[in-house]
Amino acid sequence: MAADPTGPADTLHAYARALEDGRATDAYRLLSAEAKRTLSLEAFSRTLRENPDDVREIARSLARPTSPPVVTALVHSPTGEELELVFENGVWTIDGAAIDRYGQNSPRQALLGFLRAFDRQRFEVILRYVPDEEREGRAEGWSGSSEPLTAEQLKAAWTGPQKEQIDAIVQAIKAAAPTASIEETQDRAAMTYGAGGTVSFVRERGLWKLANLK
């Protein structure tokens, strides 16, 4: 049995070599615990036997990474916030995005930023999370109007006739956010909460926004 790899690059190369040589057991040993829970050694070995050309192609691809591996860790706070740490030069460092309280790099970050802006009644910030189509008045949703949406209009709606409804929705989302999973598919995502509620997300020009609150 080969020595255990000591770093991400070693692990990647060891896995690629095991695939290339058809050593299913050695390759399987390098899979994560989560992967092993969903895929048995028998099923893994069968996949390698039945798809030799695909496996060799994967092995060759893994043996030629386009960039050095980056080791990261994701920490979740009790409120559901995510903080990414990066291992650099032998020490763990905090990713710069941690300081962005209203980020939109992921659906969860957008959701938490929206909730933070709502708590502070920062309607000009909330407007960042409105999809272009609704913000420009091409679709009704956030304010119930077909007019271009402004922070003042949103404030008038959410502190006026829609206040009770919006407050109830936001409180239910806040209660679910720490443990709720967000299903992401390309530029769309969704999170269910409460008794059948759904938050839908859309990515526009690389930024995640909340398509609706239902």
How far apart CA 114 and CA 125 sit, in angstroms, is 8
What pLDDT was estimated at residue 2? 52
In which residue ranges of the chain is CATH 3.10.450 found? 101-213
CB atoms within 10 A of CB 95: 15
**Beta carbons of 87 and 72 less than 8 angstroms apart:** yes
Domain 101-213: which CATH number of 3.30.1460, 1.10.3470, 3.10.450, 3.90.660: 3.10.450
How far apart CA 204 and CA 60 sit, in angstroms, is 35
What pLDDT was estimated at residue 58? 81
Residue 183's alpha-carbon distances to 58, 137, 186, in angstroms, are 27, 28, 10
User: What is the separation of C-alpha 108 from the centre of its chain, rounded to a whole number of angstroms?
Assistant: 6
Encode the chain (214 residues) as per-residue pLDDT tens digits.
Answer: 455 556 777 888 888 889 889 899 999 998 888 788 878 899 889 888 888 888 888 888 777 765 666 777 777 666 556 666 777 777 777 665 555 678 898 899 899 899 989 999 999 999 999 999 888 865 555 555 567 888 998 899 899 988 999 999 999 999 998 888 999 999 999 999 988 899 999 999 999 999 887 7
How far apart CA 103 and CA 16 sit, in angstroms, is 36
Beta-carbon contacts of 73 under 8 Å, excluding residues fewer than 6 positions away, are 84, 85, 87, 92
Q: Residue 1 has which token pair?
A: 């049995």
What pLDDT was estimated at residue 97? 54
Residue 45's alpha-carbon distances to 20, 26, 163, in angstroms, are 13, 11, 58
How far apart CA 181 and CA 193 sit, in angstroms, is 9
